[in-house]
Amino acid sequence: MTNTRQWREFLALLALLSLVGCGIWPESLQGQKTGPRQIISLDGTWEIAQGSMDSAPEDYPSQVPVPGLVDMAEPAFEDAGKKSELRQAFWCRRSFSVEGDVPEVAILKIHKAKYGTKVFLNGQLAGEHLPCFTPALLDVRQLLKGSGRPNELVIRLGADRESLPEGMPTGWDFEKYKYIPGIYDSVELILARRPYITNVQTVPDIDARKLRVVAEIDPGDEQAEAELRYVLREARTAKSVQSGDATAQRAGKQLRADFVLPVPKCHLWSPEDPFLYELELKTSGDSKRVRFGMRSFRFDPQTKRALLNGKPCLMRGTNVCIYRFFEDGQRGDKPWRKEWVRRLHRKFKSMHWNSIRYCIGFPPELWYEIADEEGFLIQDEFPIWLLGKAPENPKAEKIIPEYTEWMRERWNHPCVVIWDAQNESVTDQTGKALQAVRGLDLSNRPWENGWAEPQSTIDCAEAHPYLFIRAWSGKEPFRLKDVTGVSGTPYLRDAQKKLDVPIIINEYAWLWLNRDGTVTCLTDKVYESLLGPNSTVPQRRALYAKYLAALTEFWRCRRRCAGVLHFCGLGYSRPGDKPRPEGGATSDHFVDLESLVFEPNFEKYVRDAFSPVGLMIDYWGQELTTGSEHPFKVVVINDLDANWTGTISFRIVRDGRTIAEQRKACTMKPYAENSLTFDFKMPERAGECLLIASLRTADGTVIRSLRDAKIISPR
């Protein structure tokens, strides 16, 4: 070589050729072409217009990003997301080209769009897909032009929820007042030859260190079988783990390959170590890659705890209400910016959370990819929320096709550990639907069925112990001291009790504040009862954080539930927005969404309450009198798979100065708890003080439990 630059280019070319020869494509080329399959991304800027349902508009005056929502159009549409006489539908258009001849398989995939999708390619109807929360897969082979000629793609979306037929899930939510349509996930064109791999399901068997693979293949003719080549790699390094051949045989209209391959030195996936594998399957005409994790998840019927990879796993986490966030004034393009979504999940991780419920709806696909990579257990909740008075009642026959599409899209994600059929709904329709589809998931994940009856002893039930709801509902206000009368097992509805299944608390407290510290329409009476009519933002924020931390400690330390997930990590903030002058009902804890800065009190108190090794002062405001002897109980818990030994400190602090302190040694087995009692003589002077119990974790972090206390003179 004549110079260093040419030498480097030569080495880079050799490296690229060696990777391609092994069937490995660098990340920069992934998503464009993998062997005989080509994927053309149609994301980007589209033209958009509003109009009728029946005919496409002549002019497209605005532009909109895809994926995105129609309220992101420039110039903007009036009242996008609300029913309007200005429109029945939105029409989205873009052009693209395909180089070379059109192969025998051309599938247009619209990952998610709402409300009702009708697709036209080059002026001809390509197909229709009514579901709003699952992918549309349309065969466009006969309409597609190749050889670099332009193709015009037009997608019609219903302008509002009422565009959908009666009985279909529409994503109704009592807290929303805008239902913004849009192509809110990616669009891509899949080009391949047959035999075409339509779907792959990976089924880990961690005990046997094996992987079952079930592949569905469209042969395009009457052939009875097809040969399949597989390569298993580590996803991050592309290091080959296993390779071999399998045979797909006729199963109805398609071919089906069902085989098992060994995974030597199996590296398990967990929130602490989210290790991923990649499986590539090849036929003579197609190739498909899927990522997965070697992990198992189920509930122990005796302990009522989750078992991850055969070991107890205490679920600690939060909720993401993505469809509520869609109508947040500060949303912008954040849900589709990969770097922002990753930072969000890492922020959640900093709170000691290992679990998230994607609540009342599914975010874009990239969220699941990031949850796989960052290590979260996802309770994936289908967007049905009825209570007893919703203006819709989806029917099982309408739900079943969507449940099927949902599972087929999501079942290779190791992050998805619970199929959640619905939220807070008393209906038999979701139970019928999940029973019809649950056998499709060969990993046999548990289901959760809201307020309706659990459908199997392997399933779980949700509990929402909103203790502070009493003031909002006009009853005698709840006080923190009333926790002493609360059972450690949260309340379940009668239908939920028909099977004895594990409980996940994924909502609790009823103390929401908007991001600016103002009360919501559900908590105005609560804060008035707790702090009086003239409370300040700092007072409310401090109380919210301390009480939320105390309730988190209570539910975790009672050890009666498989998980405690706070509500919520991401939602919306609507302080008095019109047309709802009373403002929003719930909110999250961010004070800076772009930089992902939590309200400081929340981070200070609630982070400690979720620590894997945590503690709780079992004191709830009982009377303390000057000069009296008082025992304080401290409960210490260990969520770790290792013994924990340390020192528990208990201090009484007044005016920033420690006036009494004791220390005691504590030892706990894995997943266990311990109780210590600290006996103190109360000071002779009445006044307010702060109780602080603390421990130091293995990495030196100090974890605290705090309670405000008032010492009074004897009557």
Question: What's the rounded Cα separation, in Å, for the pair 280 and 522?
Answer: 50
Instruction: Quote the crossing angle between the two packed helices 524-531 and 537-558, to the nearest 10°.
Output: 100
Domain 194-285 has CATH 2.60.40.10: yes
Q: Would you call 133 helix, strand, or coil by DSSP?
A: coil
CATH of 312-610, one of 3.30.460.10, 3.40.50.1820, 3.20.20.80, 3.90.25.10: 3.20.20.80
Q: Would you call 413 helix, strand, or coil by DSSP?
A: coil
Question: What's the rounded Cα separation, in Å, for the pair 166 and 392?
Answer: 8
What one-letter code names the amino acid at 484? Answer: T
Q: How far is CA 296 from CA 371, 454, 459, 536, in A?
A: 16, 21, 15, 48
User: How is residue 247 written in tokens?
Assistant: 């045979």
Q: What integer pLDDT is reported at residue 577 of this predicted model?
A: 64
Sign of CA dihedral 579, 175, 473, 591: negative
Question: What's the rounded Cα separation, in Å, for the pair 660 and 629?
Answer: 13
**Residues 520 and 573 sit within 8 Å (Cβ to Cβ):** no
**Residues 113 and 157 sit within 8 Å (Cβ to Cβ):** yes
Q: Would you call 84 helix, strand, or coil by DSSP?
A: coil
Residues of the chain with CATH 2.60.120.260: 33-187
Question: pLDDT, tens digit, for every residue of 559-617?
Answer: 999 999 999 999 999 987 655 556 799 999 999 999 999 999 999 999 999 999 999 99
**Beta-bridge mates of residue 136:** 110
Q: Please give the order of strands across the beta sheet that includes 89-97.
A: 62-66, 44-51, 89-97, 150-158, 117-121, 124-129
Q: How many CA atoms lie within 13 A of 180 on its CB side?
A: 23
Q: What integer pLDDT is reported at residue 390 of this predicted model?
A: 65
Question: What's the rounded Cα separation, in Å, for the pair 511 and 470?
Answer: 11
Fold of 33-187: Jelly Rolls (2.60.120)
Residues of the chain with CATH 2.60.40.10: 194-285, 614-712
Question: What's the rounded Cα separation, in Å, for the pair 128 and 131?
Answer: 10
To which H or E segment does residue 125 belong?
Answer: strand 124-129
Fold of 614-712: Immunoglobulin-like (2.60.40)
356 dihedral zone (left: phi>0; alpha: psi -120 to 50; beta) = beta
User: How is residue 453 written in tokens?
Assistant: 């009856």
Question: pLDDT, tens digit, for every residue of 72-89?
Answer: 999 999 999 889 999 999
Q: What integer pLDDT is reported at residue 638 of this predicted model?
A: 98
User: How is residue 542 written in tokens?
Assistant: 């401090």
Q: What integer pLDDT is reported at residue 580 of this predicted model?
A: 57
Q: What integer pLDDT is reported at residue 221 of this predicted model?
A: 87
Q: What integer pLDDT is reported at residue 222 of this predicted model?
A: 84
Residues of the chain with CATH 3.20.20.80: 312-610
DSSP 624-649: EETT-EEEEEEEEEE-SSS-EEEEEE
Q: Torsions phi, psi of 432, nearest 5?
A: -60, -40
pLDDT < 50: residue spans in the chain? 1-32, 34
